Amino acid sequence: MTITVDLSPPEAAAPKIGGPLVEVAGLTRRFTLPSHFLARSKPVLHALNGVDLTINRGEAFCVVGESGCGKTTLGRIIMGLLTPSGGKISFDGTQINKLSESKRKPFRARMQMVFQNPYASLNPRRTVIETLAEPVRALCPEMTAEQRRNRVQTVMAATGCDPAWLPRLPHEFSGGQRQRIAIARALVTEPDFVVADEPVSALDVSIQAQILNLMTELRRVRGLTYLFITHDLGVVRHFGDRVAVMYLGQVMELAPVAEIFARPRHPYTQLLLDSIPQISGGTFDKPRPPSEPPNPLRKPTGCPFAPRCSHATPQCRAERPQLLPAGDAHVACHAVEGGRID
């Protein structure tokens, strides 16, 4: 059986971007790790180190970075799955990170999440109908059983899930079908905002295209706002409106997607773009000496990218650069700030 989603022409696909929906200010998160049995103090991992972001209504905001850059932690903190060590998170004008669980609940219905691995994110013992009805039961208690059923059916249709799937268990589905079910589960409470953490990374290319098209279509029809977390710049270029490039818990560059690809300013952004294998070839022909891997345990003094950066000066190692406007972008780099990189 094949499922097709109606894909409207591109001119209809330009969603309206409104005012701020999610605001994150000075967000930090530290994890204390278990210590070596001989060590005096426990090592501290700085997963997020002062992140400021504003995500506008109707926007597809991407966060891109390599493993350990804090992108997943950021998504989880915004969703309330982790508590921040410092800073604040506002949703639709209300600060939500200090709310009690009962006050937070209405916001949980409005913010939902899609995870990377649909093999792990669906409960293997629950049928599709149980998986989809559960969030409605928990977060929209005013709805009757009849309304719940209608809601589930509407969302199933919108996400290209066959109604015949309802009584079946996750193991009966392929990866792409499972991710559709996971997206349906996220949409069943009719959220305004969806955090998608690497939603297509575990999928094969042909399935990845199906899911990305579905997410684009849902955004157009439902006016969804996305925080799209990924390591794949090809996906960012296709899917995003704005993108934040993160490195070791900090935003290095924040810009409209077209601008990042046309004119990457931060040396790290340039390195990322320069590392993408190209269908046209040429990326791997340059010799590349081994780079010093990012160490999330290092004390956050100076610019986190300085150890790998060819433009680094003593100032970069001592003083942390601020995210400042540069053309249409915001860049945290002393060399850009000082005009050494244009």
Partner 1 sequence: MSALLEVQGLEVGFPGPRGKPRLALRGVDLTLGRGERLGIVGESGAGKSMLGFAILNLLPPPGLVVGGAIRFDGANLLRLRGRAMRAIRGKRISMIFQDPMATLNPVMTVGAQMVETLAAHERIGARAARKRAIDMLAAVQVPNPDKRFDAYPHQLSGGLRQRAVIAIALLTEPEIVIADEPTTALDVTIQAEIMALLLRLCRERQVGLILITHDLGVVAEVTERLMILYAGRVVEAGPTRALIDRPRHPYSAGLLAALPARANPGEALHQIPGSMPGVGDLPEGCAFRPRCERAYARCYIEVPDLGPDETDPVRNHACYLPLKDGP
**291 interacts with partner 1 by CB under 8 A:** yes
**341 interacts with partner 1 by CB under 8 A:** no
**166 interacts with partner 1 by CB under 8 A:** no
- Considering only residues 172, 204, 319, 328, which one is a binding residue for partner 1 as defined by CB under 8 A? 204
Of residues 57 through 76, those in contact with partner 1 by CB under 8 A are 66-67
- Considering only residues 99, 109, 209, 341, which one is a binding residue for partner 1 as defined by CB under 8 A? 209
What CA–CA distance (Å, rounded) separates 174 from 181? 11
The interface region with partner 1, picked from 31-39, 40-48, 111-119, 204-212 by CB under 8 A, is: 204-212
**25 interacts with partner 1 by CB under 8 A:** no
**277 interacts with partner 1 by CB under 8 A:** yes
- What separation in angstroms does the CA of 342 have from each of 69, 110, 155, 275, 327? 25, 41, 47, 20, 10
- Between 10 and 325, CB nearer to partner 1: 10
User: Residue 156, exposed/middle/buried by CB under 10 A (0-12, 13-18, 19+)?
Assistant: buried
**Residue 188 carries which side chain, given as an amino acid letter?**
V
Buried b or exposed e, range 31-47, using 16+ CB within 10 angstroms: eeeeeeeeeeeeeebbb
Residue 174's SS3 state is coil
**259 interacts with partner 1 by CB under 8 A:** no
Count of residues binding partner 1 (CB under 8 A)? 56
The interface region with partner 1, picked from 39-47, 164-172, 271-279, 325-333 by CB under 8 A, is: 271-279
The residue behind tokens 């609940």 is: 105
Of residues 122 through 141, those in contact with partner 1 by CB under 8 A are none
- What separation in angstroms does the CA of 308 have from each of 40, 55, 303? 30, 30, 10
CB 49 within 8 A of CB 223: no
- Between 112 and 269, CB nearer to partner 1: 269
**34 interacts with partner 1 by CB under 8 A:** no
**271 interacts with partner 1 by CB under 8 A:** yes
**168 interacts with partner 1 by CB under 8 A:** no
The interface region with partner 1, picked from 10-18, 19-27, 314-322, 330-338 by CB under 8 A, is: 10-18
What CA–CA distance (Å, rounded) separates 266 from 217? 32
Q: How far is the CB of 267 from partner 1 (least distance, A)?
A: 12
Q: Which one-letter DSSP state was computed for residue 307?
A: G
- Between 150 and 283, CB nearer to partner 1: 283
- Between 33 and 81, CB nearer to partner 1: 33
Helices (H), the chain: 71-79, 101-110, 118-121, 128-139, 145-158, 175-187, 205-222, 233-239, 257-262, 267-274, 314-318, 334-337
Give Dmax (Cα) for the chain.
Answer: 66
CB 17 within 8 A of CB 241: yes
**324 interacts with partner 1 by CB under 8 A:** no
- Considering only residues 288, 301, 328, 338, which one is a binding residue for partner 1 as defined by CB under 8 A? 288
What CA–CA distance (Å, rounded) separates 193 from 108? 10
**172 interacts with partner 1 by CB under 8 A:** no
Sites of contact with partner 1 (CB under 8 A): 1-4, 7, 10, 13-14, 66-67, 174-177, 204-210, 212-213, 216-217, 231-235, 237-239, 257-258, 271-272, 274-291, 293
